[in-house]
Structure 1
């Protein structure tokens, strides 16, 4: 009888811990889904996050959702203000511009190294993923196209055989990924990007791959130009909207 209260306390604590673990597991999954939506432009920069709508869409309560949002706030993807709520963090145009300038050089360097080091197995993977990207483009599946596009670039980076370069590239790409997602909806750029990837594959198939570095750099510069234009327009529109609200 003496030990009964201790047993009850232990069971209660275990139940509480299990509940907490389920909540944390659910919040981690929600964070992954929201992060993808932000990075791929489904939740654009500056957009208000409607907690009720997301809870309904994900069929979850507010508790795991807010745990997930705290994670995204810590990552800088989401902003939170008391009494106002959560918003997708805006993009910094100057930082993006500088990041892209660095990425252009990394793409070219990766092309130089991959021209010498990318093996047959990696080339086979590239051919398969390129065909999958063509299929996604033909079917109008933008999100699938965007993801496969990123996979192709990663295979080339990995094929360069330089883990230091790969690490720096991954860190910088995380900064521009959601900006690229926001620009991915542009139909004209989508077609241009598709044609540029055909050129990349052609350069990869050439003996010695002498044009690969330049083709990759040009593709990076073209992508950056469109992304920066889209972000600049978005920021300008947000500024106009804010000014109109102040004068209303």
Structure 2
């Protein structure tokens, strides 16, 4: 990890504390970006985030440098930091591939998903319902992803799982941005009810079709959100988390 000239002049123990703090901040910001809490293209108010995390600018900037290196954040001198925008063409191509993978996973999981995995899916689905009813959007999004992963795991095909994971890493934060939309959140919830109904059917004949349709609907919403942001929607400044949500 890079350190600034400021931290290089500090005693070793102080530098370690600063670097440890910046790693925690980077992890928190990374999660916020990937789950859509910090949308693509928005400016990051350093002062507000320092107050929210109760830190000085040094560890915050060290954290931001890490995210810049990862491609999640952009930095311009005299302008500041901004959440990196998304590539619409790459997203479209990635989703086109994911639709087929979701359908294939559904076909395989229909045959291979065992009773224990089905029971776990039921438990996670109930947890997702609870998060939806309580308005816990971030928890809902995480559980949503867990359910999709459980279905992929149920397909019992390591090659498919590897390709799926690689592609999902490209669209994860774009999906988070779409799930931050209230209407899509409700639609996604209803579609997951359809997925669970397909999983409960004897022989699961409709699972692949339902999963593909859900993937296509998610892609349509994600691409719409991203296209709108790239079309020059008015700048908004990123709101930091409240101290109670750190």
Larger CA deviation: 98-107 vs 139-148: 139-148
Q: 1:120 aligns with which of 90, 100, 115?
A: 115
Which residue is equivalent to 1:59? Answer: 54
Spell out, residue by residue over 1:96-137, the C-alpha distance to the aligned partner (whole angstroms, 9 max, x if none).
101111111111111111112212221111101101111111
Q: 2:124 aligns with which of 116, 123, 129?
A: 129
Distance 1:21 1:112 in 2: 50
Q: 1:195 aligns with which of 190, 193, 217?
A: 190
Which residue is equivalent to 2:43? Answer: 48
**Structure 1 residues 17 and 130 mapped into 2: Cα distance closer, same or farther (>3 Å)?**
same
Shift of 1:40: 1.9
Which residue is equivalent to 1:176? Answer: 171
DSSP 3-state at the match of 1:79? strand
Distance 1:29 1:21 in 2: 12
**Structure 1 residues 17 and 160 mapped into 2: Cα distance closer, same or farther (>3 Å)?**
farther
Spell out, residue by residue over 1:137-185, the C-alpha distance to the aligned partner (whole angstroms, 9 max, x if none).
1222222211111111111111111222222212211211111111113
Shift of 1:192: 1.5
Which residue is equivalent to 1:17? Answer: 12
Q: TM-score, normalised by structure 1?
A: 0.86
Equivalent residues in 2 for 1:11-160 (5 A)? Answer: 16-160=11-155
Distance 1:145 1:30 in 2: 22
RMSD: 2.0
Distance 1:75 1:240 in 2: 23
Q: Which stretches in structure 1 are left out of the alignment for 5+ residues?
A: 1-12, 242-248
Task: Say if 2:195 is the partner of 1:206.
Answer: no
Which residue is equivalent to 2:4? Answer: none
Does the CA contact (< 8 Å) of 2:37 and 2:180 recur in 1?
Answer: no
DSSP 3-state at the match of 2:82? strand
Which residue is equivalent to 1:7? Answer: none
Q: TM-score, normalised by structure 2?
A: 0.87
Does the CA contact (< 8 Å) of 2:42 and 2:235 recur in 1?
Answer: no
Aligned length, in residue pairs: 228
Q: Which stretches in structure 2 are left out of the alignment for 5+ residues?
A: 1-7, 237-246
Larger proportion of helix: 1
